[in-house]
A = this chain, B = another copy of it.
Amino acid sequence: MAQQRRRVRGFGFSGVHCGIKHGRTRDLALLVSDRPATAAGVFTRSTVPGAPVLVCKRKLKSGRARGVVVNAGISNVAMGEQGLRDARSMAGQAALAAGCSEAEMLVASTGVIGVPLPMAKVESGIVRAARGLDPDGLAKAADAIRTTDTFAKIAHRRRRVGERFVNVAGIAKGSGMIEPRMATMLAFVMTDAAAEPDLLRGLWREVTEETFNRVTVDGETSTSDMAIVLANGACGSRPLRSSRGEAARRLRAVLLEVCTELAKDLARDGEGATKLVTIEVSGARTSLEAERAGRRIANSMLVKTALFGRDPNWGRILQTVGAGEVRLDLARTEVDLCGVPVFRHGASTGEAARRRAGRRMAAPEIGIRVHLATGKARARFWTCDLSYEYVRINAEYTT
Protein backbone atom coordinates (compact mmCIF):
# COMPACT_ATOMS: atom_id res chain seq x y z
CA MET A 1 0.00 0.00 0.00
CA ALA A 2 2.74 2.41 0.99
CA GLN A 3 4.39 1.80 -2.35
CA GLN A 4 1.19 2.11 -4.30
CA ARG A 5 0.62 5.52 -2.77
CA ARG A 6 3.91 6.56 -4.38
CA ARG A 7 2.82 5.76 -7.91
CA VAL A 8 2.42 8.38 -10.60
CA ARG A 9 0.32 7.10 -13.50
CA GLY A 10 2.35 6.44 -16.63
CA PHE A 11 5.74 6.63 -14.90
CA GLY A 12 8.19 3.80 -14.34
CA PHE A 13 11.22 4.02 -12.07
CA SER A 14 14.29 1.95 -11.43
CA GLY A 15 17.58 2.01 -9.58
CA VAL A 16 20.45 -0.43 -10.20
CA HIS A 17 24.11 -0.99 -9.38
CA CYS A 18 26.16 -0.44 -12.50
CA GLY A 19 29.63 -0.45 -10.93
CA ILE A 20 30.69 3.20 -10.49
CA LYS A 21 30.46 2.79 -6.73
CA HIS A 22 31.99 -0.06 -4.80
CA GLY A 23 30.04 -2.96 -3.35
CA ARG A 24 26.50 -3.45 -4.50
CA THR A 25 25.34 0.09 -3.86
CA ARG A 26 22.82 1.37 -6.38
CA ASP A 27 24.39 4.07 -8.52
CA LEU A 28 22.18 4.45 -11.59
CA ALA A 29 18.54 5.59 -11.71
CA LEU A 30 16.08 5.82 -14.57
CA LEU A 31 12.76 7.70 -14.50
CA VAL A 32 10.58 7.37 -17.62
CA SER A 33 7.08 8.33 -18.66
CA ASP A 34 5.33 5.90 -21.03
CA ARG A 35 3.86 8.86 -22.94
CA PRO A 36 5.03 12.35 -23.95
CA ALA A 37 5.37 14.79 -21.08
CA THR A 38 6.05 18.47 -20.60
CA ALA A 39 9.13 19.33 -18.58
CA ALA A 40 10.98 22.21 -16.94
CA GLY A 41 14.25 22.56 -15.07
CA VAL A 42 16.25 24.96 -12.97
CA PHE A 43 20.02 24.64 -12.89
CA THR A 44 23.16 25.70 -11.05
CA ARG A 45 24.39 29.16 -11.98
CA SER A 46 27.95 28.00 -11.48
CA THR A 47 30.39 29.18 -14.14
CA VAL A 48 31.88 25.65 -14.02
CA PRO A 49 28.74 23.65 -14.86
CA GLY A 50 28.86 19.90 -15.36
CA ALA A 51 28.29 18.49 -18.85
CA PRO A 52 24.81 17.09 -17.97
CA VAL A 53 23.70 20.60 -16.97
CA LEU A 54 24.65 21.93 -20.40
CA VAL A 55 22.94 19.04 -22.18
CA CYS A 56 19.69 19.32 -20.16
CA LYS A 57 19.42 23.09 -20.53
CA ARG A 58 19.58 22.70 -24.26
CA LYS A 59 17.03 19.89 -24.42
CA LEU A 60 14.56 21.63 -22.13
CA LYS A 61 14.19 24.56 -24.50
CA SER A 62 11.49 22.44 -26.16
CA GLY A 63 9.60 22.20 -22.85
CA ARG A 64 9.20 18.46 -23.42
CA ALA A 65 10.92 15.34 -22.09
CA ARG A 66 10.08 11.74 -21.30
CA GLY A 67 12.60 10.82 -18.67
CA VAL A 68 15.91 11.24 -16.86
CA VAL A 69 18.89 8.94 -16.47
CA VAL A 70 21.06 9.71 -13.42
CA ASN A 71 24.32 8.27 -12.19
CA ALA A 72 25.93 8.76 -8.79
CA GLY A 73 29.63 8.42 -7.93
CA ILE A 74 31.15 10.55 -10.71
CA SER A 75 29.86 13.99 -11.56
CA ASN A 76 31.10 14.48 -15.13
CA VAL A 77 32.48 17.96 -14.42
CA ALA A 78 35.69 19.53 -15.80
CA MET A 79 36.06 16.82 -18.44
CA GLY A 80 35.86 19.07 -21.54
CA GLU A 81 34.62 17.59 -24.81
CA GLN A 82 34.74 14.05 -23.47
CA GLY A 83 32.30 15.05 -20.71
CA LEU A 84 29.80 16.35 -23.25
CA ARG A 85 30.16 13.22 -25.40
CA ASP A 86 29.61 10.99 -22.37
CA ALA A 87 26.54 12.93 -21.20
CA ARG A 88 24.97 12.79 -24.67
CA SER A 89 25.82 9.14 -25.00
CA MET A 90 24.25 8.29 -21.60
CA ALA A 91 21.04 10.05 -22.65
CA GLY A 92 21.10 8.35 -26.05
CA GLN A 93 21.53 4.87 -24.57
CA ALA A 94 18.74 5.51 -22.07
CA ALA A 95 16.41 6.78 -24.78
CA LEU A 96 17.10 3.69 -26.90
CA ALA A 97 16.53 1.34 -23.98
CA ALA A 98 13.36 3.12 -22.88
CA GLY A 99 11.98 3.48 -26.39
CA CYS A 100 11.87 7.24 -26.77
CA SER A 101 13.85 9.75 -28.83
CA GLU A 102 17.23 10.99 -27.61
CA ALA A 103 15.93 14.56 -27.47
CA GLU A 104 13.37 13.48 -24.85
CA MET A 105 15.86 11.92 -22.42
CA LEU A 106 17.55 14.11 -19.82
CA VAL A 107 20.75 13.23 -17.96
CA ALA A 108 22.26 14.02 -14.57
CA SER A 109 25.45 13.04 -12.75
CA THR A 110 26.67 13.53 -9.20
CA GLY A 111 29.92 12.59 -7.53
CA VAL A 112 33.66 13.09 -7.90
CA ILE A 113 34.89 15.85 -10.21
CA GLY A 114 37.50 15.38 -12.88
CA VAL A 115 37.23 11.62 -13.33
CA PRO A 116 35.91 10.02 -16.57
CA LEU A 117 32.71 7.95 -16.44
CA PRO A 118 33.23 4.18 -17.00
CA MET A 119 30.92 4.26 -20.01
CA ALA A 120 30.80 0.49 -20.59
CA LYS A 121 29.52 -0.07 -17.06
CA VAL A 122 27.08 2.82 -17.35
CA GLU A 123 25.68 1.46 -20.62
CA SER A 124 25.10 -2.04 -19.33
CA GLY A 125 23.52 -0.49 -16.21
CA ILE A 126 21.15 1.52 -18.38
CA VAL A 127 19.97 -1.61 -20.22
CA ARG A 128 19.21 -3.35 -16.91
CA ALA A 129 17.55 -0.23 -15.49
CA ALA A 130 15.26 0.06 -18.52
CA ARG A 131 14.31 -3.59 -18.22
CA GLY A 132 13.47 -3.06 -14.54
CA LEU A 133 11.26 0.04 -14.94
CA ASP A 134 8.46 -0.33 -12.40
CA PRO A 135 5.57 1.92 -11.30
CA ASP A 136 6.56 1.00 -7.73
CA GLY A 137 10.28 1.55 -8.24
CA LEU A 138 10.54 5.10 -6.86
CA ALA A 139 12.34 4.05 -3.66
CA LYS A 140 15.02 2.24 -5.66
CA ALA A 141 15.53 5.29 -7.87
CA ALA A 142 15.77 7.56 -4.80
CA ASP A 143 18.33 5.19 -3.32
CA ALA A 144 20.40 5.11 -6.52
CA ILE A 145 20.96 8.89 -6.69
CA ARG A 146 22.42 9.16 -3.14
CA THR A 147 26.02 10.08 -2.49
CA THR A 148 26.74 11.20 1.10
CA ASP A 149 23.02 11.24 1.93
CA THR A 150 22.32 9.16 5.01
CA PHE A 151 18.74 8.46 3.90
CA ALA A 152 16.83 8.43 0.60
CA LYS A 153 14.52 11.42 0.11
CA ILE A 154 11.06 10.75 -1.34
CA ALA A 155 7.86 12.76 -1.16
CA HIS A 156 4.48 11.93 -2.64
CA ARG A 157 1.08 13.67 -2.64
CA ARG A 158 -2.27 12.89 -4.22
CA ARG A 159 -4.55 15.94 -4.48
CA ARG A 160 -7.46 17.19 -6.51
CA VAL A 161 -6.43 19.59 -9.27
CA GLY A 162 -9.39 20.77 -11.35
CA GLU A 163 -11.83 17.88 -11.86
CA ARG A 164 -9.26 15.07 -11.37
CA PHE A 165 -6.97 13.72 -8.71
CA VAL A 166 -3.32 14.02 -9.61
CA ASN A 167 -0.21 12.41 -8.15
CA VAL A 168 3.02 14.30 -7.57
CA ALA A 169 6.11 12.37 -6.52
CA GLY A 170 9.62 13.67 -6.02
CA ILE A 171 13.04 12.36 -5.13
CA ALA A 172 16.08 14.42 -4.17
CA LYS A 173 19.62 14.14 -2.95
CA GLY A 174 22.01 16.46 -1.11
CA SER A 175 23.76 17.49 0.82
CA GLY A 176 27.16 19.02 1.27
CA MET A 177 28.93 19.76 -1.92
CA ILE A 178 31.53 18.26 -4.09
CA GLU A 179 34.48 15.97 -4.64
CA PRO A 180 35.57 13.95 -2.77
CA ARG A 181 32.48 13.83 -0.62
CA MET A 182 30.45 13.76 -3.78
CA ALA A 183 27.43 15.85 -3.07
CA THR A 184 25.22 17.78 -5.42
CA MET A 185 21.64 18.92 -5.09
CA LEU A 186 19.51 16.92 -7.51
CA ALA A 187 15.72 16.80 -7.46
CA PHE A 188 13.31 15.10 -9.85
CA VAL A 189 9.56 15.55 -9.58
CA MET A 190 7.05 13.57 -11.63
CA THR A 191 3.35 14.26 -11.94
CA ASP A 192 0.45 12.86 -13.94
CA ALA A 193 -1.08 16.32 -14.08
CA ALA A 194 -1.30 17.90 -17.53
CA ALA A 195 0.30 21.28 -18.07
CA GLU A 196 1.51 23.28 -21.05
CA PRO A 197 5.30 23.84 -21.09
CA ASP A 198 5.11 27.57 -20.41
CA LEU A 199 2.82 27.16 -17.44
CA LEU A 200 4.94 24.35 -16.03
CA ARG A 201 8.10 26.39 -16.47
CA GLY A 202 6.60 29.33 -14.60
CA LEU A 203 5.27 27.21 -11.75
CA TRP A 204 8.57 25.37 -11.46
CA ARG A 205 10.59 28.55 -11.22
CA GLU A 206 8.34 29.85 -8.44
CA VAL A 207 8.21 26.59 -6.53
CA THR A 208 11.95 25.90 -6.64
CA GLU A 209 12.66 29.50 -5.61
CA GLU A 210 10.62 28.98 -2.43
CA THR A 211 11.96 25.51 -1.67
CA PHE A 212 15.28 24.19 -3.03
CA ASN A 213 16.68 27.71 -3.34
CA ARG A 214 15.97 28.24 0.35
CA VAL A 215 18.05 25.33 1.58
CA THR A 216 21.64 25.91 2.47
CA VAL A 217 24.01 23.54 4.20
CA ASP A 218 27.33 25.25 3.62
CA GLY A 219 26.65 28.16 1.28
CA GLU A 220 27.97 26.39 -1.79
CA THR A 221 26.27 25.83 -5.15
CA SER A 222 27.56 22.76 -6.85
CA THR A 223 28.59 22.42 -10.44
CA SER A 224 25.80 19.92 -11.07
CA ASP A 225 22.74 21.20 -9.18
CA MET A 226 19.48 20.68 -11.00
CA ALA A 227 15.79 20.33 -10.23
CA ILE A 228 13.55 18.92 -12.95
CA VAL A 229 9.80 18.39 -13.21
CA LEU A 230 8.00 16.12 -15.69
CA ALA A 231 4.22 16.28 -16.20
CA ASN A 232 2.77 13.53 -18.41
CA GLY A 233 -0.95 14.34 -18.24
CA ALA A 234 -1.91 10.72 -17.44
CA CYS A 235 -4.61 12.01 -15.10
CA GLY A 236 -6.67 12.64 -18.23
CA SER A 237 -7.34 16.38 -17.82
CA ARG A 238 -6.80 18.83 -20.59
CA PRO A 239 -3.41 20.58 -20.18
CA LEU A 240 -3.42 23.60 -17.91
CA ARG A 241 -2.46 26.75 -19.76
CA SER A 242 -2.98 29.73 -17.53
CA SER A 243 -1.46 30.29 -14.14
CA ARG A 244 -4.49 32.28 -13.05
CA GLY A 245 -7.06 29.51 -12.69
CA GLU A 246 -7.91 27.58 -9.56
CA ALA A 247 -6.50 24.35 -11.02
CA ALA A 248 -3.08 25.90 -11.66
CA ARG A 249 -3.10 27.32 -8.15
CA ARG A 250 -3.78 23.84 -6.81
CA LEU A 251 -1.08 22.23 -8.91
CA ARG A 252 1.35 24.86 -7.68
CA ALA A 253 0.29 24.11 -4.09
CA VAL A 254 0.91 20.39 -4.40
CA LEU A 255 4.26 20.89 -6.15
CA LEU A 256 5.14 23.23 -3.28
CA GLU A 257 4.18 20.62 -0.70
CA VAL A 258 6.31 17.92 -2.31
CA CYS A 259 9.30 20.21 -2.84
CA THR A 260 9.06 21.63 0.69
CA GLU A 261 9.23 18.13 2.14
CA LEU A 262 12.25 17.28 -0.02
CA ALA A 263 13.95 20.60 0.77
CA LYS A 264 13.54 20.11 4.51
CA ASP A 265 14.95 16.60 4.20
CA LEU A 266 17.99 17.98 2.35
CA ALA A 267 18.69 20.39 5.24
CA ARG A 268 17.98 17.72 7.86
CA ASP A 269 20.51 15.45 6.18
CA GLY A 270 23.20 18.13 5.70
CA GLU A 271 26.71 16.83 6.25
CA GLY A 272 27.22 16.30 9.97
CA ALA A 273 23.83 17.82 10.81
CA THR A 274 22.31 17.11 14.19
CA LYS A 275 19.39 19.52 13.74
CA LEU A 276 16.96 20.79 11.10
CA VAL A 277 16.78 24.57 11.45
CA THR A 278 13.93 26.66 10.03
CA ILE A 279 14.60 30.39 9.76
CA GLU A 280 11.71 32.82 9.37
CA VAL A 281 12.57 36.45 8.68
CA SER A 282 9.76 39.01 8.72
CA GLY A 283 9.38 42.77 8.79
CA ALA A 284 12.16 43.37 6.26
CA ARG A 285 12.23 46.51 4.12
CA THR A 286 12.39 44.53 0.85
CA SER A 287 12.20 40.89 -0.26
CA LEU A 288 15.87 41.06 -1.14
CA GLU A 289 16.79 42.19 2.36
CA ALA A 290 14.59 39.48 3.89
CA GLU A 291 16.31 36.90 1.74
CA ARG A 292 19.76 38.28 2.50
CA ALA A 293 19.08 38.24 6.24
CA GLY A 294 17.78 34.67 6.10
CA ARG A 295 20.64 33.44 3.96
CA ARG A 296 23.25 35.08 6.19
CA ILE A 297 21.75 33.49 9.33
CA ALA A 298 21.56 30.13 7.56
CA ASN A 299 25.19 30.29 6.39
CA SER A 300 26.79 31.90 9.44
CA MET A 301 29.40 29.57 10.90
CA LEU A 302 28.95 31.35 14.23
CA VAL A 303 25.19 30.84 14.28
CA LYS A 304 25.52 27.22 13.12
CA THR A 305 28.08 26.32 15.79
CA ALA A 306 25.88 28.01 18.42
CA LEU A 307 22.92 25.88 17.28
CA PHE A 308 25.08 22.77 17.55
CA GLY A 309 26.04 23.89 21.08
CA ARG A 310 22.38 24.66 22.00
CA ASP A 311 23.36 28.21 22.72
CA PRO A 312 20.41 30.67 22.42
CA ASN A 313 22.77 33.30 21.09
CA TRP A 314 20.69 36.17 19.65
CA GLY A 315 23.87 38.30 19.48
CA ARG A 316 25.32 36.18 16.68
CA ILE A 317 22.01 36.20 14.80
CA LEU A 318 21.66 39.99 14.87
CA GLN A 319 25.34 40.52 14.18
CA THR A 320 25.27 38.48 10.96
CA VAL A 321 22.08 40.27 9.84
CA GLY A 322 23.76 43.62 10.53
CA ALA A 323 26.93 42.54 8.74
CA GLY A 324 24.77 41.83 5.67
CA GLU A 325 23.88 45.52 5.61
CA VAL A 326 20.23 44.64 6.20
CA ARG A 327 18.21 47.46 7.75
CA LEU A 328 16.69 46.74 11.15
CA ASP A 329 15.08 48.85 13.84
CA LEU A 330 16.92 47.46 16.85
CA ALA A 331 14.50 48.88 19.43
CA ARG A 332 11.61 47.02 17.76
CA THR A 333 13.55 44.00 16.49
CA GLU A 334 12.35 40.62 17.80
CA VAL A 335 14.24 37.33 18.00
CA ASP A 336 12.53 34.09 19.06
CA LEU A 337 14.34 30.78 19.43
CA CYS A 338 12.20 27.62 19.50
CA GLY A 339 9.22 29.86 20.21
CA VAL A 340 10.85 31.63 23.15
CA PRO A 341 11.26 35.42 22.88
CA VAL A 342 14.95 36.06 23.62
CA PHE A 343 15.36 39.62 22.29
CA ARG A 344 12.87 42.50 22.70
CA HIS A 345 13.07 46.30 23.13
CA GLY A 346 16.71 46.37 22.09
CA ALA A 347 17.85 43.95 24.77
CA SER A 348 17.93 40.41 26.06
CA THR A 349 14.68 39.22 27.66
CA GLY A 350 16.73 37.83 30.52
CA GLU A 351 18.39 34.76 31.87
CA ALA A 352 15.22 32.70 32.48
CA ALA A 353 14.10 33.02 28.84
CA ARG A 354 17.61 32.25 27.71
CA ARG A 355 17.69 29.06 29.75
CA ARG A 356 14.23 28.03 28.52
CA ALA A 357 15.28 28.52 24.90
CA GLY A 358 18.51 26.62 25.56
CA ARG A 359 16.57 23.63 26.90
CA ARG A 360 14.26 23.58 23.86
CA MET A 361 17.27 23.69 21.55
CA ALA A 362 18.04 20.10 22.48
CA ALA A 363 15.23 19.10 20.06
CA PRO A 364 16.05 17.78 16.55
CA GLU A 365 14.12 20.67 14.94
CA ILE A 366 14.84 24.28 15.79
CA GLY A 367 12.99 27.42 14.76
CA ILE A 368 14.59 30.86 14.52
CA ARG A 369 12.23 33.79 14.05
CA VAL A 370 13.60 37.27 13.42
CA HIS A 371 11.39 40.34 12.96
CA LEU A 372 13.33 43.33 11.63
CA ALA A 373 10.58 45.96 12.06
CA THR A 374 11.52 47.99 9.00
CA GLY A 375 8.93 46.77 6.48
CA LYS A 376 6.69 43.89 5.48
CA ALA A 377 8.85 41.50 3.47
CA ARG A 378 9.41 37.89 4.56
CA ALA A 379 11.67 34.95 3.74
CA ARG A 380 12.06 31.42 4.97
CA PHE A 381 15.19 29.24 4.90
CA TRP A 382 16.14 25.76 5.99
CA THR A 383 19.56 24.80 7.17
CA CYS A 384 21.37 22.61 9.69
CA ASP A 385 23.91 23.11 12.44
CA LEU A 386 27.71 22.93 12.08
CA SER A 387 29.14 20.04 14.05
CA TYR A 388 32.46 18.31 14.63
CA GLU A 389 31.13 15.70 12.22
CA TYR A 390 30.97 18.25 9.37
CA VAL A 391 34.65 18.99 9.91
CA ARG A 392 35.46 15.29 10.15
CA ILE A 393 33.57 14.39 6.96
CA ASN A 394 35.21 17.17 4.99
CA ALA A 395 38.71 17.11 6.45
CA GLU A 396 39.20 13.40 6.91
CA TYR A 397 40.04 12.64 3.33
CA THR A 398 43.81 13.10 3.19
CA THR A 399 46.28 12.14 0.55
Residues from chain B with a CB closer than 8 A to the CB of A47 are 321-322, 325-328
Copies in the complex: 2
Q: Say whether B395 contacts A391, CB under 8 Å.
A: no
Looking at A245-253, A257-265, A309-317, the stretch in contact with chain B turns out to be A309-317
Residues from chain B with a CB closer than 8 A to the CB of A325 are 45-47
Contact of A175 with B by CB under 8 A = no
Contact of A221 with B by CB under 8 A = yes
Q: Say whether B114 contacts A306, CB under 8 Å.
A: no
Q: Say whether A311 contacts B46, CB under 8 Å.
A: no
A151 CB to nearest chain B CB (Å): 22
Interface residues of A (CB under 8 A from B): 44-49, 77-80, 112-114, 176-180, 218-223, 299-302, 305-306, 308-313, 315-316, 318-323, 325-328, 330-331, 346-348, 354-355, 357-358, 386-388, 390-399
Q: Say whether A46 contacts B315, CB under 8 Å.
A: no
A358 CB to nearest chain B CB (Å): 3
Which 5 pairs from chain A and chain B are nearest by CB? A309-B395, A48-B322, A358-B399, A305-B394, A179-B315
Given contacts A313-B179, A319-B220, A323-B46, contact A305 B358 (CB under 8 A): no
Cα distance, A77 to B346, chains bound together (Å)? 10
Q: Say whether A319 contacts B177, CB under 8 Å.
A: yes
A80-B346, A178-B315, A309-B396 are known; give 5 further A-B pairs, CB within 8 A.
A177-B319, A178-B319, A220-B300, A301-B394, A310-B399
Cα distance, A310 to B399, chains bound together (Å)? 7
Q: Say whether B219 contacts A319, CB under 8 Å.
A: no
Contacting A311 at CB < 8 Å: which of B44, B219, B397?
B397
Residue of B nearest to A183 (CB): B302
Q: Say whether A319 contacts B394, CB under 8 Å.
A: no
Cα distance, A222 to B300, chains bound together (Å)? 12
Q: Say whether B398 contacts A302, CB under 8 Å.
A: no
Q: Say whether A305 contacts B395, CB under 8 Å.
A: yes
Q: Say whether A219 contacts B301, CB under 8 Å.
A: yes
Residue of B nearest to A47 (CB): B322
